[in-house]
Amino acid sequence: MRTLFATCCSLEPLVAAHAGEMFLVLSDPAIYEFENAPPPDEQWLRARYERLEQRGPGSATETWLNWVVRFRSGDLVGYVQATVRQEGISLVACELNSQYWRQGIATAALQAMLRELANHYAVRTFVAVLKAKNYRSAGLLRKLGFVPASNDLLLKYRDAPDELVMVK
């Protein structure tokens, strides 16, 4: 993994040392309007990041790629992540602190990650799974060229009836 650069930010490979700063970023309650919850504490997040630093479950079936997003000011603002599967498919996600929404940061960060995945990891299909009510994320994905998944992909990737699956 390498550091990636976008117009307004850089993407650094996530490591456990990012836990302190990222705990503050991820403690924003607005992020969790549609699903999940903030990390319970910094130690929990550090342990999670230590697992993610392994870049996968130890088998050749998938690779975990996680980058923290650093804004031009030097502040960490969120993360992007990809689970790359052998068949040229990657599940992708992005999470930013709400004070950085609607500034083009998520768009730039995701574009940089998608380029990296296509050019260096042979990814041909990108999949995003989100709560159907999450209109902000759905809009961002549409802006990036994602469309609703076919019924086959919907059945393969959707875990709950209130989820939307989008592909590019």
Look at the chain and report how many structural domains it folds into: 1
Q: Give pLDDT, residue 87.
A: 87
Q: Give pLDDT, residue 144.
A: 96
Whole-number Å distance between alpha carbons of 91 and 93:
7
- What pLDDT, in 10s, does the model give residues 105-131? 999 999 999 999 999 999 999 999 999
* Contact present, 101 and 78 (Cβ < 8 Å): no
Query: Could you tell me the pTM of the whole model?
Result: 0.91
Give the sheet arrangement for strand 147-148, strand by strand: 4-5, 9-13, 62-71, 76-85, 89-96, 125-131, 163-167, 147-148
List per-residue pLDDT tens for the chain, 168 residues long.
Answer: 899 999 899 999 999 999 999 999 999 999 998 888 889 999 999 999 999 988 877 667 889 999 999 988 899 999 999 999 988 999 999 999 999 999 999 999 999 999 999 999 999 999 999 999 999 999 999 999 999 999 999 889 998 899 999 999
Q: Give pLDDT, residue 58.
A: 66
Count of CB atoms situated within 10 Å of the CB of 109: 28
Q: Which DSSP category does 120 fall into?
A: H
Residue 99, domain CATH? 3.40.630.30
* Contact present, 14 and 68 (Cβ < 8 Å): yes
* Contact present, 131 and 95 (Cβ < 8 Å): no
The domain of 96 spans 4-167
